[in-house]
Amino acid sequence: MKIIEINGFWNNFKGLMFKKNINYGIRLKCNGIHTFFMRMPIDVVLTDKNNNILKIIYNLKPWKIVLPQKNVYYTYEFPINKIKYQVGDNIKRSN
């Protein structure tokens, strides 16, 4: 699945808000997120600086908050049921 790097404060804050029918993932440089104004649930993967997966949150519904997590450097957001990662895996980015 294609992963898009999100940079800048506003883009990071916005993430997938107001989007629908996405077929890609995004990578944010942050250790916590919100799903305010999201149109659908998402799967969230939290990694360290080396993209080693520390935590996965499946089916995170709109209007929820994931508080900042210790040792998390990147947060990935994906459409639900599209990821095949497990805690301990490493996300290797190809784009």
- Domain map (residue ranges) of the chain: 3-79
What's the confidence (pLDDT) of residue 11?
65
Per-residue model confidence as pLDDT tens for the chain (95 residues) = 888 887 776 666 666 666 677 888 889 999 999 998 888 999 999 999 999 999 999 999 999 999 999 999 999 999 999 888 889 888 875 44
CA of 45: how far to CAs of 5, 51, in Å? 14, 10
Cβ(59)–Cβ(66) below 8 Å: no
Alpha carbons 65 and 12: distance in angstroms, whole number: 15
What's the confidence (pLDDT) of residue 37?
87
What's the confidence (pLDDT) of residue 50?
95
Q: Specify the length of the chain in residues.
A: 95
Alpha carbons 59 and 50: distance in angstroms, whole number: 24
| Tokens at 78, concatenated | 């994906």
What's the confidence (pLDDT) of residue 95?
40
> The whole model's pTM is what?
0.84
State the DSSP code for 12. H
CA dihedral for 83, 57, 52, 87, sign (positive or negative):
negative
